[in-house]
Chain A
């Protein structure tokens, strides 16, 4: 795989940084260009370095078992960290992530006078995102060097590029919630997800994707916060983790995995009294049923979050979920409950401590149903499981796949 030197262009009020990508493989339908777009006012913030592109595409090259040739400037610190980063992924899943050679044309750090120093966080409107913003907005009392002034909301990661309405509605809501806190929302569009769709699970690819979208703005951002997904004592192979995120720093762009000392329930509790989160929390993974910041209130993630808010006693204040959510509604979680995820084992002791006895029988039913479902799923042979997945959810149907991108998008 060859990453050509990125180019910067202006297009319809947007500034676009794009690099032509050449691959040897023919099996997968990958875009010919990787691009990132930001509103034109961030023209001075973007760089034409290859740092962000190598971060975003290394996993794809590893999956394709292609040597990576990077043209353009790359930070020596990043090149060093990427070496260890590749080895960690290879250790986690050697069948998917092969150890590949990476060849750099020019190892050179970004000029200090050109580098930004602002703090920014990746932001999707979920529990982790709101928790990080709540801890770090300028007047939150945080150490000024570790505060955030910007939140980066990327179109193309969990909202397909074709779904403009949903993205704009959500962005509008977030902008309104964050502006009074002194945090500016930076919209971003990218086709990076298409380079992993059907190739690598998004759970493994999303961390480097977020970092690459932030790294393009190295002229503005000096510290980039990635809200944590898992607590320190539950670390597992995952695309964004305190084990690996820091390896993708450059000399002047620090990546900080934030909030891993708190579990999901603790974060939900922390944000449950905070109006910006109450009015805009967006956790839904159902692409068809969610609308802007409105959640479907049916998918696993919605039901999990709603149940947590219910147990915490704050569900009524959260306007982005369908109301009312009664104790008996917890049973809706049962058919989709994921064993091993964040859920009943955390909620049960908390409910017991808070004497929320009315929800406990329902939690027990949810857990037991999940257990049975898990056993049944385990009985299905892996081959059959793969076949069923390919039949009912083929890679081509992936809304993030190349064939579903608008050829006129990007630059």
Chain B
């Protein structure tokens, strides 16, 4: 393979990763890392460095549109980022103490469970009484956005902000420890605990993952894991894909977003379990 062909191949794969990632609030590492290592035989450390770039590119590429269209809730994001950043610091701190193998098994199972809960969740939550939260009101977390697919303004009031914050702390810790799963735990936390509309959950997760990834990107850069020739096509492809995805999210139905997310989450959970079991 020539460098030119490599560039084109990686850009195209990354476009897909950015497109899917921006719709689902995920960083795209679950596509970029296997594609680079298994398909293109790139060293795993460089692939992980490129996947960090992919997370930031997905986030920044789509978030400009999501913030403008009110799909991403900036107040929910700022509040929850306290949890993700402090979790990431804890994760990096205790990284040596825990064996990653068991963490992969543990969080692979948690993600699998979250996927199933999100599949069943909606019916139950419609019956369940919406818990009013005075803290959420104090933080002015309520918002509204115009849903193109439904053709109407959707008004929502998040609940259980403290549960959400605690789950974000765990999500931040996991990404600090394992370097993956940045969005995979954030979306279920916002969906199941805080009862945000699914599109708001994925768009807000997308907005947040850039900050979490930027915190570790500096470290990967200093360690020499960000190879410009590998990361450049990833960055360009993902940015273009995320930009295209951000134009789509408003228009597709919430049900389609939820179903795709559940399917991808199950795949990520299987990926993690396999890595844990193989060691």
Bound pair (A, B): no
Residues of A with Cβ closer than 8 Å to B?
A: none
